[in-house]
Amino acid sequence: MGRAWYEGGRMEHKENTFTDFIACARHLLTRAIAQPAGLAGRGGSAGGLLMGAVANQAPELFTALVAEVPFVDCVTTMLDDTLPLTVGEWEEWGNPIADEEAYRRMLRYSPYDNVRGHEDDGGARSYPDLFVTAGLNDPRVAYWEPAKWVAKFRAVSPTTKVLLRTELGAGHGGPSGRYDAWKEEALVQAFLLEAFGLAEGPPALPG
């Protein structure tokens, strides 16, 4: 899409990523390409941040979201220059240590920091079902990011179905090997089928 498109979705323009995704979802519903309560989203790493931001900004549009090794605690991570990728990533997100505006900008969309159990009118907030993955050996998105995000969801919105799968032997790319990757994909698809009420129940026991 060219350099201008790339520049239009980073640094001070990062929130365009979230509003564009939400606009696309609303377009699908307005044009009846998708049905109400018939949308799911999926993203990994920075795309997982997108899923987290969308969950906070437009939870009513989606029945389920899949966030794989999601970069959801971006403020804390970008403030820690001892982590292996933080300094290099400042070029994409900004440096919240040296730039107060970068800090405040990240805080506005940080998925972890914006999870809340109530709407502005005091009513309970309803989130989509969430399937979240983490990798114990992930050098890019530390496993504690998705873990603390899930813990916060469960604390403030106990009625939300939030599943966390942590790969104990995998890194950022998930399980290696064709069959393990298929098993992981099967789990995601099973989660989505259940979220949409399309999963078959267990077979009836005889007699």
Query: Which one of the listed residues 73, 172, 176, 180 is annotated catalytic?
Result: 172
Q: For residue 15, what are its two tokens?
A: 């929130």
User: For this structure, is 45 an active site residue?
Assistant: yes
Query: Would you state the structure tokens that stand for residue 143, as one six-digit string?
Result: 């496993």
Give the CA-trace dihedral at 57, 40, 60, 13, to 10 degrees.
20
Is residue 172 part of the annotated active site? The answer reads yes
Q: Among residues 45, 99, 113, 118, which one is catalytic?
A: 45
* Alpha-carbon dihedral angle through residues 184, 189, 195, 196, given to the nearest 10 degrees: 180
Selected catalytic residue, list 73, 113, 129, 138: 138
List helix spans (H) across 79-177: 86-93, 100-109, 144-156
**Which residues partner with 106 through β-bridges?**
none
User: What DSSP element (H or E) covers 195?
Assistant: helix 178-195
Tell me the residue type at 8.
G
d(CA 54, CA 126): 13
3-class SS of residue 142: coil
Catalytically annotated residues: 45, 138, 172
